[in-house]
Amino acid sequence: MYGSDFEDPETVGQPGASALLDEVESAERDLHEAAARTVATGGSTGPGADAALQDYFDAVIAADQKIEPRDWMPGAYRKGLIRQIAQHAHSEIIGMQPEGNWITRAPSLKRKAILLAKVQDEAGHGLYLYAAAETLGSSRDELVELLITGRQKYSSIFNYPTLNWADVGAIGWLVDGAAIVNQVPLCRCSYGPYARAMIRICKEESFHQRQGFEILYTLARGTAAQRQMAQDAVDRWWYPSLAMFGPPDSDSTHSEQSMAWKIKRFSNDDLRQRFVDMCAQQASVLGLSIPDPDLRWNEERGAWDYRQPDYAELFRVIKGDGPCNRQRLRHRRQAHEDGAWVRDAGSAYAAKQAARRAGKRATEQVAAA
Amino acid sequence: MTTVDELLRLGDDALIAAQRLAEWCARGPEMEEDVALANIALDQLGAARLLLSYAGERAGTGTEDDLAFLRDDREFRNCLLVELPNGDFAVTIGKLLFLSVYQLARYDALVDSADDRLAAIAAKVRKESAYHVDHGSLWTVRLGDGTDESHRRMQSAVDELWPYTHELFEENDLRPTWLSTVEPVLAAATLTRPEDGWAPTGGRAGRHTEHLSYLLAEMQVLHRAHPGARW
Ligand SMILES: [Fe+2]
Ligand SMILES: [Fe+2]
């Protein structure tokens, strides 16, 4: 998922970034290898009797192989995955808005092109993910309906506004950065179509993260006003990005089952720590400061100590009271409604074409007879 | 040798078209269309950058960014068609079809230009234009021959935009070529080809519609607020 912040209860100086990409690649290799093996208990032909279905499912999970769309799976596994993948897809689509806000004002043609391509990638991510959810039996139309009626959530990070150009950099660096940390383990998720979508998406997200880093790097070395812009953006995006990993493990509800099913593989706090460790090093390369007076290296733990985000704020945003919740949803709903006549025209035209082809075939058959 | 003005006409058409298409981002009628319109915007932006860089070098007037962000509306040489607001999806598709058929004919001709650099740009960009023509044609036909509502909207878009197409041919004789593509598309779409008549003009001389100044205000605001900054 984009973040876990929507559930109720080698590059120049980017330390840590290439390690994540290596993990994506190793997940991809393992995926291919696992596909070549057969499950020990199930034999090569898969399950026979109905009673063996659960055993077979458990064996596939235990062997780190993938569950595929036609395999039997527990109802709760299917339901949970649909929800998670859909919410991830919604996040990609809603996530187009905050950055899309700066495309028409991008300060150079090169930056405009990069940003436009990035936002386009996010639309592509949304499309793969809806397609992955469809393999579990929920149509995209249904899922989009759940989004625009507010019955399913998207990552809360996108309910914050983009107030200056540096926000585009901060989103790339921090938000895409957090998304990668969250998503790299999902490249090993037990559900095949989701794992494969994540491998593809993670590779693109790492470009986004690098581009964001570059924007901030350039601004931090620019005029006083540019530098101030960059620091302001990092100051505003830091804690919401930390909150993307969701509530602390002590309050996190249904993650045990997800762990057992190998959908989730690390706890919220583990991933958050990993993100902080990566950013703390990168911030010093950027020459920007992270707005946390408690941030310091802890020799004993071999990790950075940091201040937790304000989880009360996270819950307010999840409940709908963030700065932009209403605006983001209204925008999505408006685009959907404004496009209805176009989608109707597309289906009407396709139906006419099909009827014409059928009519032509009938005429040919009559002529041939 | 090509004139700098000709490079600006081509480059500004592409730039302003890209800016308008980018306004659709996250507003498309379906997600696939968000991807497709962004693709076309990226193609136009890429072409604009090549053409404006070349124009700036030739005239000694600076970089692509100097030309895009520091000229005023009276210095832009784009046709009026591209600066018109997006309107509904039918208007956007009408603009796309009319512009891309024109651009394809222009680039096809420029491939043989004695100006090697322009010929190379045209050779690269014409393939993209061909895709834009396909996309514009496909949607014109779908909307024209879709529902009553889409037919009505597409016909009104074509009627509204038709006068602006005359300006495209003020400095060339490509209108017959253009018509030979556009008329069959309109026919397949069950649309009526408008009568020729009113032919608004002025873009190539820097006399634009009221819309361009607003478009530039938005596009240039950040760049101009930080003179000399690098991004
Ligand atoms: Fe994405
Ligand atoms: Fe991204």
Statement: residue A9 has pLDDT above 50 = no
Q: A120 — contact with chain B (CB < 8 Å)?
A: yes
| pLDDT value of position A308 | 97
Tell me the residues of chain A between 341 and 360 that have a Cβ less than 8 Å away from chain B. 341-346, 348-349, 352
Locus of tokens 């009626």 = A149
Q: Tell me: pLDDT of A44 over 50.
A: no
**pTM to 2 decimal places:** 0.94
Both structure tokens of B40: 């076309």
Specify the pLDDT at position A36. 74
The 3-state DSSP class for residue B47 equals helix
As a whole number, mean pLDDT of residues A303-327 equals 96
Most B CBs within 10 Å: which of A108, A111, A215, A352, as the mutation test of the B interface?
A: A108
**Mean pLDDT along residues B151-170:** 98
Give A213's contacts (C-beta < 8 A, 6+ positions apart): A11, A14, A17, A169, A172, A173, A282, A286
Percent of chain A with pLDDT over 70: 93
The mean pLDDT value for A48-54 works out to 73
Q: Which residues of A touch B147 (CB under 8 A)?
A: 341, 344-345, 348
Instruction: Give just the sign of the alpha carbon dihedral A277, A282, A285, A287.
Output: negative
- Of 1.10.3720.10, 1.20.1260.10, 3.20.20.70, 1.10.3300.10, which CATH number belongs to B4-225? 1.20.1260.10
Provide the β-strand partners of residue B132.
none
Structure tokens at A11: 């590059």
Say if residue A42's pLDDT is above 80: no
Residue with tokens 């509800």: A253
Evaluate the CA torsion angle A174, A178, A179, A180 in order and state its sign.
positive
Q: Above 90 in pLDDT, residue A51? A: no
How confident is the prediction for chain B on average, in pLDDT?
97
pLDDT at A155 over 70: yes
What is the rounded average pLDDT of the residues B127-148?
98
Bridge partners (DSSP) of residue A303 are A298
Is pLDDT at A184 greater than 90 in this prediction?
A: yes
Quick check: A345 and B30 CB within 8 A? no
Contacts of B22 in chain A (CB under 8 A): 103-104, 112, 116
Q: Work out the pLDDT band at A39, boundaries 50, 70, 90.
A: low
Quote the percentage of chain B above a pLDDT of 90: 99
Is residue B152 packed enough to be buried (19+ CB in 10 Å), middle (13-18) or exposed (0-12)? middle
Q: Contacts of residue A112 in chain B, CB cutoff 8 Å?
A: 22, 45
User: Residue B213: exposed, middle, or buried by beta-carbon count in 10 A (0-12, 13-18, 19+)?
Assistant: middle
Q: Which residue has the tokens 């993948």?
A: A85
Q: If contacts are CB pairs under 8 Å, which of residues 30-59 in chain B contact chain A? A: 30-35, 38-39, 41-42, 45-46, 48-49, 52
State pLDDT tens for residues B63-119.
999 999 999 999 999 999 999 999 999 999 999 999 999 999 999 999 999 999 999
CA-to-CA separations, A213 to A19, A137, A149, A225, A236, in angstroms, rounded: 16, 39, 35, 18, 16
Is the Cβ–Cβ distance between A170 and A237 less than 8 Å?
A: yes
User: Is A50 a residue whose pLDDT tops 80?
Assistant: no
Task: Extract the tokens encoding B96.
Answer: 């796309």
Percent of chain A with pLDDT over 90: 76
Condensed to tens digits (0 to 9), the pLDDT of residues A212-267 reads: 999 999 999 999 999 999 999 999 999 999 999 999 988 876 678 888 888 888 99
CA distance readout (Å), B171 to A199, B5, B10, B226:
51, 11, 12, 37
Mean pLDDT throughout A176-199? 95
ipTM of this predicted structure:
0.98
